[in-house]
Structure 1
C-alpha cells in the first residue's frame, strides 16, 4: 500500500495546504493551549531529528487489548450469547461486572458462570472480572473454577495463542487477595493481575495532584504487599479514564508511564521488560451530567457526536500507551 504514495517534503505539504486555505497561513491554525505555547496541527516526519522507527507489533507500547464491559446480566444464556458475538467481532478482553449482591458476595453461583462462559475459550483472550463484594476465600473458590476451565482448553489449539492472562478485582479494594491467599492465586493463575490502582477523573479535572496521589498510594500498596518489586509489578495495573483533551491526555498517560518506569529503574528493574500496565476507559458525559448541562441537541445528536469524538479519544489513549482500552457503546445511556 505504501508504495503507491511517493514521499512529500514538509514544504511541499504546507504549500499544498496553503493553496487549500486560499492564501491563509497554516500558522493561523496553530493551537495555543496557554500563552507562549503554540502547537501546529501539521506534524511531519521532517520535524524529527531522524526518521521514526517502523511501527512493529513487537515494540513495547504498541500492543493493546480491545476491551468491553458486560454488566450485571440476569440470564447466563444472554451473557453467553453477547460474549460470543463480541468475540466473533474481535473483542480481546471482556470485563464481566457483577455488582448485584447474592447474600454477602456478588460472585454468581459457579454453575451459572459455567453456562455464561460456555464455548468461550478463555486461554485465547484476557478476561477481566469485577465483583462488588467477595471474601478472599470466595475468590479462591472462583479461581479454582477458572483454573478448571483453563484445564479444559482444546489441547490441539496453537500453544502460542494460549496465555491464561486476565484480572480479578473486588469493590474498592486495591488488592483482591493478600498474603498466602494471593500466593495460592498466583500458583493457579500466574499471568493474572490482582492489584489495581484507580486514578479518578480525566486530564480536564486535573493531572498533577491525582497522579501524585495515585503513585503515592501505589507505592504504599507495594510496601504492604511485602512482595519483591518485580512480582508486585506483574500483579499490578493502573485503571483510569481519558477525556476529550487530546494532547493533554497523551501527555498525561506518557507521564504516568515514565514516572512508573523511573520508580522501577531506581530499584534496579529492567524497564524494557518491566513496565506499567494501563487499563483505560474512554469517558463520556453520563445522562445525569447531560441533564445538569442541557443543550438543544437531541439524544441521537449527542450519540452521534460521541461516536465521532470516540476516534480521536481512542487514538490519544493508544498514543499515550494504553495496554487495554474500553470504548463504551455510543447508544449506552449510562456511559455515552
Structure 2
C-alpha cells in the first residue's frame, strides 16, 4: 500500500497538454477560444499546471477556524440581549451588534453573554469616546475579545460626511488608542465598495488605501485592524480576493511595524440579491459563505434570504445561521487549514489580483491618498464606471440572476409582502463629498414588476 500508485504513469507537461488541446481545436486559436478575460482584466486559462508560471505559493496564514457570527440590530435593549443569548445557544459563536446611538446601556446588553469565549463586534453608527471606554472596561473586567467597528473614513465614503470633521474624528481615534487597551477599535468597511459595484481589483486596492489612512493618521495601533468584506458570487475570484486582501494588508502593515494580522469579517453581497424568487438567495449566500471560509475569513455573518423585504425575524436568522452550521459541522469546512493554498488556479488568481490591486493602490497614494481621492470624487467615479458596466451586462442578459433576468416566475407576487423598502433610498442632504451608493443589480427590473402588480390589482 505504500507504493506510489502513479509510478506507472509518465508525467505530462503543460506543453503536451496545450499541444493536445490545440489539436482538438482543429485550427481554432487557443488564446481567443479558451482564454477568458474578466472585467478586472484577469485572464483565466483552461488549465493550470505545476510547471507553468507557478512561483512561490502565497501563505495566507489563516490557520484558525472561522467563527459563525450573528448580526443583531439593537432597537430594544432587552429583546436584543435575549436574542443574542438565544442565538449563541442555537449555534452562533460570535455576535455583531449594530447600535445607532449612545443611549443604549451596553453593560446590560452583554450582561448575560458568556464573553470569555464569545467574540463580540460593536458596529457603532456614532462616535463617542465615553461609550467606547465603557466597552473597553467590559473587555478588561470580563476578559472578553471585543471589536468596536469605528471607521470615520468609511463614514465619509458611505454618508458623504465625517462624524464631525477630519481633525476631530482622528483626534478621537488617537485618544482611544491611548485610553483603550483592551479592545480592537479600528475598522475598514470594505463591503461598501462591493455592494456599490466596484470590481475585485478596486475593492482590494480601496481597502488597502482605506487602511493606509489609519496607519498614517493614528499614532499607535496596538491591536489588529478589522476589515469587513462583502463576498460576491464569482466563487474562485472571491476566494482569491480575500486571500489577496490579507497578503497585501500584511505587506502594508510591515511598513509601519504593525505586527498584527488583519481580522476579516465576511458578509455575503447585497448586490446580487433579489426580491423575486427570493429562495434563490439562499443558494447565493451558501456559495458566498463557502468562498469566505475557503479564502480565510476569521468570521462569517450570513445574510438572511429575506433581508431585503422583511424586518429581522427569527426564521430568516435561523436559516442563515443553519447554512453556516451545515458548512462547519456537516461539511467540515473548519477541519482543513488554508484549504485553498497550493491550488494552481486560485494561486494564479490571487497573484493577478494582488499585482493589479497593488498597482492601483500605488496610483491612489501617488495622487494624494484615499481621503483626497474621495474628496475629489475620483473613487466614486471609478466605482460608478465599474457598476455601470456590470449593470449593462445584467440588463443585456450576459450576467445572469436566476429567477430575475433568467427563468423568472411570472406568477410571483411580492407587493403584499414588503415590510422594508428594498431599493436605493434618496435622502437629500448637504454632504462634503458625493457618497458611494450601494445598489442591487435587479432594482430597476423589480420596480417595473411591482408597478405591473399594482396595475393588475
Q: TM-score range by the shorter chain?
A: 0.5 to 0.7
Q: Relative to structure 2, which stretch is displaced further, 274-283 or 211-220? A: 211-220
What residue in structure 1 maps to residue 122 of structure 2?
129
Change in Cα spacing, 1:82 to 1:31, as seen in structure 2 (3 Å) is farther
- Following the alignment from structure 2 to structure 1, what is the Cα–Cα distance between the partners of residues 185 and 99? 16
2:178 is matched with which residue?
183
Equivalent residue in structure 2 for 1:328, among 303, 308, 314 = 303
**Cα deviation, residue 327, structure 1:** 0.4
Deviation at residue 180 of structure 1 after TM alignment:
3.6
Of residues 199, 211, 218, the one that matches 2:211 is: 218
Unaligned runs of 5+ in 2: 7-23, 26-32, 155-168, 311-315, 317-457
CA–CA distance in 1 between the matches of 2:120 and 2:92?
A: 10
Three-state SS of the structure 1 residue aligned to 2:122 is strand
8 Å CA contact retained: 2:148, 2:187: no
For 1:297-323, what per-residue CA distance to the aligned partner results, in whole angstroms no more than 9, with x for missing partners? xx4x322x1112222211111111211
TM-score (normalizing by structure 2):
0.48
**TM-score w.r.t. structure 1 length?**
0.64
Cross-structure match for 1:282: 268
Q: Residue 252 of structure 1 is aligned with which of 241, 254, 259?
A: 241
- Of residues 180, 198, 205 in structure 2, which corresponds to 1:205? 198
Distance 1:267 1:172 in 2: 20
Contact 2:149/2:185 (8 A) holds in 1: yes
Tell me, in whole angstroms, the C-alpha distance in 2 between the residues paired with 1:135 and 1:265.
30
Aligned match for 2:44, one of 22, 37, 49: 37
- The 1:307–1:33 alpha-carbon spacing in structure 2 relative to 1, beyond 3 Å, is farther
Query: 1:62, CA displacement in angstroms?
Result: 3.7
Aligned pair 1:81/2:71, yes or no?
Answer: no
Q: 1:314 to 1:8 in 2, by over 3 A?
A: farther
Distance 2:111 2:68 in 1: 21
Structure 1 residues 67, 178: CA separation in 2 closer, same or farther (over 3 Å shift)? Answer: same
> How many positions carry a matched residue from both structures?
258
Unaligned runs of 5+ in 1: 1-6, 10-26, 53-58, 100-105, 154-162, 292-298
- Give the Cα separation in 2 of the matches to 1:241 and 1:213: 13
Assess if the C-alpha contact under 8 Å between 1:249 and 1:316 holds in 2: yes
Structure with greater proportional strand content: 1
Compute the displacement of 1:33 (Å): 4.2
8 Å contact from structure 1 (residues 67, 327) kept in 2: yes
Matches of 2:198 and 2:214 in 1, distance apart? 25
Matches within 5 A, 1:258-277: 258-266=247-255, 274-277=260-263
SS in 2 for 1:82: helix
Q: Is residue 314 from structure 1 mapped to residue 300 from structure 2 by the alignment?
A: no
CA distance in 2, matches of 1:93, 1:31: 44
Q: CA RMSD in A?
A: 3.8
Q: Give the Cα–Cα distance (whole angstroms) in 2 for the partners of residues 324 and 235 of structure 1.
A: 14
8 Å contact from structure 2 (residues 151, 187) kept in 1: no
> Retained in 1: the 8 A contact 2:151–2:186?
no
